Amino acid sequence: MVRIITDSAADFEPEEMEQMHVTCIPLTVMFGTKEYQENVDLNKNQFYDLLRDSGEFPKTAQASPQLLKDLFRQADAAGDEAIYITISSGFSGTYQNAELLRQKLNLPGCYVVDSENGTGGQRMVVEYAVKLRDEGKTAKEIVSALEAMRKRVVLYACMDTLEYLYKGGRISGAVYRVGSLAQIKPILQVDAEGKLAIPAKAMGMKKGMAFMCEKVKELPPDGEFPFYVMYTDDRVNGLALAERIRALGIEVPEERIINVGAAIGTHVGPKACGLVYVH
């Protein structure tokens, strides 16, 4: 058997993990001196309440290497293989540290895969791994397929506010003030290197949604994979974007409109929306 492991940056709900037989390592989220384990004692709604109201800018810490070590050793002892699919190495040092641990353990049936993505993009890589596992593929076959598939994942998002980029030190106070007055909505993209880029800026959320829809037309989705719409905290913009996508003839059922957790939500803040699919 192949065991699939990921971290909470993939933004599955705990019951989804259970249904898919996937193990999730929680990320640590810190507000001041208070620490939480994502999806253990901090769900998404609680995270956004704290983000708005606590007065503290959160920090996220990597998934526990000790927990990964235990999971790899348990798989090996049971005669199973294991694949850990991480948040992008362009966002976090999780992949690098997990790969160093894997090499140190020297367990031939254990693998670490860089999703080169986060939130819905990481989710899609995990779901594909589950599909291949259920088809009876070996861990080596699954890893090879994931490394090809991850390059085809397209993710765009539109932020409602510059506030959290400013609080996180990503932009200057001057850029924040001017952009806020002008109602500038940055468009985020996960680029070919698995890093967050800002390829465009829109004057308002509606124009941001229109930009993302044009990208879908330019890079049509592969219907063999699901299409996800994402939102942060406030579902309204996610629902509006889903309607625009449906108008393009693309199926977006309610369960594929997902809330984004702390790993990405920390930096984009509430009321953002985005889309992710395989081209």
Give domain limits for the chain.
2-151, 153-278
What was the pLDDT predicted at 176?
A: 54
Residues 233, 270: Cα–Cα separation, whole Å: 5
Residues 85, 88: Cα–Cα separation, whole Å: 9
What was the pLDDT predicted at 169?
A: 60
What was the pLDDT predicted at 257?
A: 98
Burial class (CB in 10 A: 0-12, 13-18, 19+), 46: middle
Residues 224, 16: Cα–Cα separation, whole Å: 20
Q: Are 94 and 67 in contact (CB under 8 A)?
A: no
What was the pLDDT predicted at 15?
A: 96
Burial class (CB in 10 A: 0-12, 13-18, 19+), 249: exposed
CB proximity list for 17: less than 8 A, separation 6 or greater: 23, 24
Cα 165 to the center of its chain, rounded Å: 17
**pLDDT tens sequence across 82-121:** 999 999 999 889 999 999 999 999 999 999 999 999 999 9
Low-confidence ranges of the chain (pLDDT < 70): 165-182
Fold for 153-278, please state it.
Hypothetical Protein Tm841; Chain: A;domain 3 (3.30.1180)
Structure letter (DSSP) for residue 204 = S
What was the pLDDT predicted at 199?
A: 87
What was the pLDDT predicted at 266?
A: 87
What was the pLDDT predicted at 250?
A: 97
Fold for 2-151, please state it.
Rossmann fold (3.40.50)
